[in-house]
Amino acid sequence: MSIWKRDLTLEALNKTSVGTMVEHLGIVYTYMDEESLEAQMPVDNRTQQPFGLLHGGASVVLAETLGSMAGFLTTSEGQCVVGTEINASHHRAVASGTVRGVCKPLHLGRSSQVWEIAIFDGRGKRCCTSRLTTATLG
């Protein structure tokens, strides 16, 4: 059974990014099943720090983007979610290519949610683990 309460396609999700930081960083939603949401982000001049590696803040943007959208998808009409806390543990450096974020719920409560976002490099190695807590409003 799906956790999603809203029926949006990947195409529709990607349209929500137009004109936002999400679009600017090249984040694209790529996969959704009954309880996970995935997106990719390029490792390039928009997302690298001055030493040529993926910026930790860019990883956090990918994580919060995925967790916030996943949270929104689990709400009903008239509700929204806002992030209240995020953390990230960076495991390995990434210098080029694309990273993939996989977002899954750890807790889906009536007024709060907790999401785990695992970020993988192009070889499938985990480079970051993030956890986003959201509050459900409305």
Rounded to 5 degrees, φ, ψ at 23 are -65, -45
SS3 12: helix
What's 10-137's CATH class? alpha beta
85: how many CB neighbours lie within 10 A of its CB?
10
pLDDT single digits (tens) 83-135: 999 999 999 999 999 999 999 999 999 999 999 999 999 999 999 999 999 99
The gap from C-alpha 36 to its chain's centroid, in whole angstroms, comes to 10
The gap from C-alpha 40 to its chain's centroid, in whole angstroms, comes to 9
Q: Give the domain ranges of the chain.
A: 10-137
pLDDT single digits (tens) 16-58: 999 999 999 999 999 999 999 999 999 999 999 999 999 999 9
Q: Alpha helix locations (H) across the chain?
A: 10-15, 21-24, 56-73
Residues belonging to the active site? 64
Report the candidate in 99, 90, 92 with the shortest Cα–Cα distance to residue 46: 99
